[in-house]
Amino acid sequence: SINSLTEIDTSTKVDNAMSRLLKKYDVLFALFSKLE
């Protein structure tokens, strides 16, 4: 049960990191499209 808890915790951290990266890319993409 400890293993499954750590897996859930890790996947949550990965999800958070991914969404943060995606938000950064969204901002960069918006800036680039405004420049064009």
User: What pLDDT is stored for residue 16 in this prediction?
Assistant: 94
Number of alpha carbons in the 13 Å side-chain half-sphere of residue 17:
6
DSSP code of residue 7: H
Does the predicted model carry a pTM greater than 0.75?
no
- Name the residue ranges covered by the structural domains of the chain: 1-36
Closest CA to 24 of 13, 32, 36, 34: 32
Reported as a single tens digit per residue, the pLDDT across 1-36 is 678 888 888 999 999 999 999 999 999 999 999 998
